[in-house]
Amino acid sequence: MIRSFVDRWWRFFVLFCWMFGLAGVLKNERYLSFLRPEFGVVLGIGAYILLGFLAALLAERNPSPFDMKRAATSLILLLPIAYLANAQGASLDASALRRRPMPASLFSPELAAGMSPLPATSGASPYTQRPTLLDLYAHPRMYSGKKVSVIGIVHRNEEICRESGRNVALLFRFLITCCAADATPLGVLVSADVPAGIGENAWAEVEGRFMVYRDDGMYVPVLEDVSVRSAEAPERPYLY
Amino acid sequence: MTRAGAAIRSHREALLLAFFAAFAIAPLALFANDADVRTLSLIFASIVLEALPFMLLGALAGGLIEAFVPRERLMSLLPKRDLPTILIAAGMGILFPVCECAVVPVVKRLTRKGLPPFAAIAYLLGAPIVNPIVAMSTSLAYRPYSGVAFLRCAMGYCIAVTVALFMWSLFRDGGIFLPYRHEAGKGLECTCPHCSCETAADGASLSLRLLASFRHGSDDFLATGHYLVIGAFIAALSQTYIDRNFFSGLAEYPFLAPAGMIVLAVLLNLCSESDAFVAASFRNLTPFSAQMAFMLIGPMFDLKLLLMYRELFTGRAIVSLALLILVSVSCAALLLGG
């Protein structure tokens, strides 16, 4: 009897768990820790397809024998849900940053010497005093030389300090195209001591003059004359 | 294969899968709060969440094809000769854009409906690259150089056609696809009353056909989904523990740079709609030929695809396909300048 019950319902159980998992990440937009906002619609469609699959299985009279192989594949299919639960509330941080290349210009060893600042341009672009790091990367000329206030994650790295010859930290956030797997770090060097109260991986708001230095076609974004204070993590941790 | 041989093979597979499940759950069970395991969780869940809806869509599309498209209708739409069919199939992604996660179940059903195997390979390899969404994301990633998107599509098309033609000459006598499991009477048997599986030809009611579509779709998802999960987990492991900067270090060696980027693409399992942005982040770090190799190989042959192909092709066909893709992409990289 147990055997026939398992044969009848194992597929339903696996699909139902996934349906539950998708509903869970859609609730309160939890999927934003993993995907860019537009994926909400795609996940919703996926949930409806799963609903259709469940309905079709309910209408199905013939059981599908549950053997050892199906037990193993079901277990594997359920693995991501366990990991999903463990990742709730987390976002990529400095440990992920270490293994991903930044735009090459950022770690230029010429930071300290001999570079001319990029001249600022005036224009009708959407200037704001509180740009994101993506704004700075997208419109470097517009923001060059101007005082801005930017939010990001603080990363202290001895290698950067050694290469730049200054006591600097990195303020960074991840840019996501589709999901966290394709996250690319965007960062600016903060040319000052970061207060001891703001630890590694902490969110901080840095106010300072944005400069982009250029040397042999390499660009190095820096915030100078800065004040640093701790900040709340934004609702959406990534840039899109 | 005899019944006893099939049973032994099935048990061996089950043991391997169970071993993988135990291996994959271990980090979570032992070090759930470790920073790297949290990153692993995030990336693993991200890859699966990103791919899952597309895979479900692909499984449903396959089910709809199974239930609504009669074999005769599909055959009447195709050219009678193989070469034009291959040439058309490699570019069909322009009309039916699917990413690599969705394309496997679709191709599985299309071949059952009579799409010639080599046209199926051309579509399988071409569609995830030669499609407007991928072209758009590539041109966005490489702006202002919009020619990169065109080059990627053109090279993807040529490789899809070339590999399909080589497979045609290697497997002209068959042995490319696994025997269909419904026909073999094992695995996920199709048991709905109209399925042997010609629901479309039997004049069944719309609701019955829809039900059959969803039933076929769920079967395909349950039969293929674990390959996606395994591929995604290995990709997440590599993303968490392998330093990408190592691959940019290979730029000093002209021939190693494309090889390194090919390995990276196979390990990362990125979606073809987003991989251009990762490739573009290697600008100034690796030569353009290596970035292009990265964008060409990923949608045709990465870890999750390699595993998903097991649901479709024989082992010999997978090895041949993988080698042909690797050689073609390497040649393309050499053409672009090493």
A60's CB contacts (< 8 A; 6+ apart) are: B191, B192, B215
What distances in angstroms separate CA B160 from CA A234, B90, B121, B178, one per listed residue? Answer: 44, 6, 7, 21
Burial class from Cβ neighbours inside 10 Å (0-12, 13-18, 19+) for residue B88 reads: middle
DSSP secondary structure letter of residue A148: E
State both tokens at A190.
Answer: 């903060």
Q: Which of residues 59-98 of A touch B (CB under 8 A)?
A: 59-60, 62, 64, 67-69, 71-73, 75-77, 79-80, 82-84, 86-87, 90-93, 95-96, 98
Cβ–Cβ below 8 Å for A181 and B283: no
Highest-confidence range of A185-199, A216-230, B53-67, by mean pLDDT?
B53-67
The shortest C-alpha distance from A228 to chain B (Å) reads 25
Whether the pLDDT of residue A122 is over 70: the answer is no
How does B15-35 read in b/e, with b if 16+ C-beta sit within 10 Å? eebbebbeebbebbeeeeeee
Strands A203-215 and A116-117, sheet pairing: antiparallel
Average confidence (pLDDT) over A144-160: 86
Measure the CA angle with vertex B144, ends B141 and B145; round to 5°. 80
Measure the CA angle with vertex A174, ends A239 and B284; round to 5°. 115
- B136 CB neighbours in chain A (<8 A) are none
State both tokens at B194.
Answer: 């109209």
Rounded to the nearest 5°, which phi and psi values hold at A228? Answer: -120, 130
pLDDT of the residue at B174: 80
- B225 CB neighbours in chain A (<8 A) are 73, 77
Cβ–Cβ below 8 Å for A84 and B285: no
Q: What's the rounded Cα separation, in Å, for the pair B195 and B211?
A: 12
Count CB-CB contacts under 10 A for residue A92.
24
- B137 CB neighbours in chain A (<8 A) are 177
Cβ–Cβ below 8 Å for A182 and B20: no
The shortest C-alpha distance from B184 to chain A (Å) reads 15
Report the share of chain A in percent with pLDDT over 90.
Answer: 26
Nearest-CB residue to A79 (from B24, B248, B270): B24
* Mean pLDDT, chain B, whole residue set: 82
Count CB-CB contacts under 10 A for residue B253.
11
Listed residue (A188, A151, A185, A186) closest to A169, CA to CA: A188
Best B49, B188, B194 member to test A by mutation, with max A CBs in 10 Å, is: B49
Give the model's confidence band at A109: pLDDT under 50 very low, under 70 low, under 90 confident, else very high. Answer: very low
Q: What's the rounded Cα separation, in Å, for the pair B230 and B304?
A: 7
- What does the pLDDT look like over A51-108, one tens digit per residue? 999 999 988 877 778 888 888 999 999 999 999 999 888 888 887 887 776 655 443 3
Complex-level ipTM: 0.84
Helix (H) / strand (E) containing B171: none
Q: What's the rounded Cα separation, in Å, for the pair B113 and A121?
A: 61
Low-confidence ranges of chain B (pLDDT < 50): 181-194, 198
What distances in angstroms separate CA A199 from CA A89, A203, A205, A231, B198, one per listed residue? Answer: 19, 9, 13, 12, 64
pLDDT of the residue at B82: 82
What DSSP letter does each residue of A40-104 carry, written as one string? Answer: HHHHHHHHHHHHHHHHHHHH--S-----HHHHHHHHHHHHHHHHHHHHTT----HHHHTTSPPPG
Q: Which residues on adjacent β-strands are paired with residue A189? A: A170, A222
- What does the pLDDT look like over B91-149, one tens digit per residue? 988 887 777 877 888 888 888 888 888 999 999 999 999 988 888 888 877 877 778 99
Whether residue A97 contacts residue A172, with contact meaning beta carbons closer than 8 Å, is answered with yes
What DSSP letter does each residue of B208-254 carry, written as one string? Answer: HHHHHHHHHHHHHHHHHHHHHHHHHHHHHHHHHHS-THHHHHGGGST
